[in-house]
Structure 1
Amino acid sequence: MSEQQEIIPQWLLEIMCCPVPECRGDLELRADILRLVCKKCGRRYPIRDGIPVMLVEEAELPAEGQEKGEQ
């Protein structure tokens, strides 16, 4: 599992944010599902071949009851 956690360096996670203009929340790496999850709005951004896809159109919306980063 530590190999997956190295997908995105910590320093990069610290400067990245949700690309939704109304949100801009901090992101959390979920290596188990290969997604970056916004702690504020709950959108999940896929990681493909080690590259985060930070396009709003590609994000998965949170399921009902999981808004605002609830898991």
Structure 2
Amino acid sequence: MLIDPFRWYRRRQRLQREALEESQYLRRRFGDTALATAREKLKRPDLTSWGRNVLEEAIKLLERPSTPA
């Protein structure tokens, strides 16, 4: 089996992009309770492994203190 570092890189970039989109959506939709909502979504049994990875990354983004733009 060949390991393609570019494939891993593109997959990691896609994961980061989707996690950022998810965290922004949760902040817009739920405001201050976005982090709690993301943790609740993570407990769902029907979540795919990709969805779980995206939510875990989104939670990391939501845990960071937000900086004013």
Pairwise same-fold verdict (TM > 0.5): no
**In proportion to residue count, which structure has more strand?**
1
Q: Which has the larger radius of gyration?
A: 2
| TM-score interval, smaller chain | under 0.3
**In proportion to residue count, which structure has more helix?**
2
Q: Which has the higher contact order (CA 8 A, sep 6+)?
A: 2
